[in-house]
Amino acid sequence: MKIENAVIFDMDGIIIDSEPLWKQAEKEVFSAIGVQIKEELANITASLTTKEVTKYWYNYMPWKGKSLDKVENEVIDLVGHLIKRDGKAIEGIKELLDFFQQKEFKIGLATNSPFKLIPVVLNKIGIADYFDVISSSEFEEEGKPNPAVYLTTAKKLNIKPENCIVFEDSLSGVTAAKKAHMKTVALCPKGEFETEKYDLADLKLTALNSFKNGYLKSLLLN
């Protein structure tokens, strides 16, 4: 009997180059309510859920007049606007989706981003039809590095976690996928490929379009 396999993609940094857009939106929204955004602290929040980010900045510099939910939604709405206007696909993502579709893999998406932004991204890049299921940590008790969103995605796909391959660009995402007992491919940021930071992953890449058939065979055999 043929073993069914799945590939699951993170969204921000794997499908769309959105980190600059998130930073821009957070800076605009939080600065407007008196929070002084520091670059080194903004780097810490990059892999958090929007709810966690909002709590982080509130604890750092509490504001008055707006609820945390309202501020969080203002950030999300601005990010959505920026994605529609300026969003750009990560190089190689469409070719990689074609590759796995031709291999008859089921395809899922698992992100820490709010659920409402998923269709915005997929429609902007023009890849919505590739995905069998989509999942957001918004509906989990904890976001990545907790493995919940990956386990939920595997369950929706009806594929065993050990038969899933995950593409991630953050250490928290790689950690989440490994905790879910999935094969993990790390897209390493520039200058970090040679560091030990992403050694937890089963495979490290510097570009999505460098993923080849030989890598897939190796991942499936391990």
- 192-222, pLDDT tens digit by residue? 888 898 999 999 999 999 999 999 999 998 7
- pLDDT (tens digit per residue) in 42-58: 777 877 889 999 999 99
Q: Specify whether 199 is catalytic.
A: no
Is the pLDDT at 1 greater than 70? The verdict is no
Rounded to two decimals, the pTM is 0.93
Model pLDDT, residue 206: 95
Catalytic residue, candidates 12, 17, 129, 202: 12
Q: Specify whether 129 is catalytic.
A: no
Kindly write down the DSSP assignment for every residue of the chain, as one continuous string. Answer: -PPP-EEEE-SBTTTB--HHHHHHHHHHHHHHTT----HHHHHHHTTS-HHHHHHHHHHHS--SSS-HHHHHHHHHHHHHHHHHHH--BPTTHHHHHHHHHHTT-EEEEEESS-TTHHHHHHHHHT-GGG-SEEEEGGGSSS-TTSSHHHHHHHHHHT--GGGEEEEESSHHHHHHHHHTT-EEEEEPPTT-TTSSTTTTSSEEES-GGG--HHHHHHHHH-
Model pLDDT, residue 195: 85
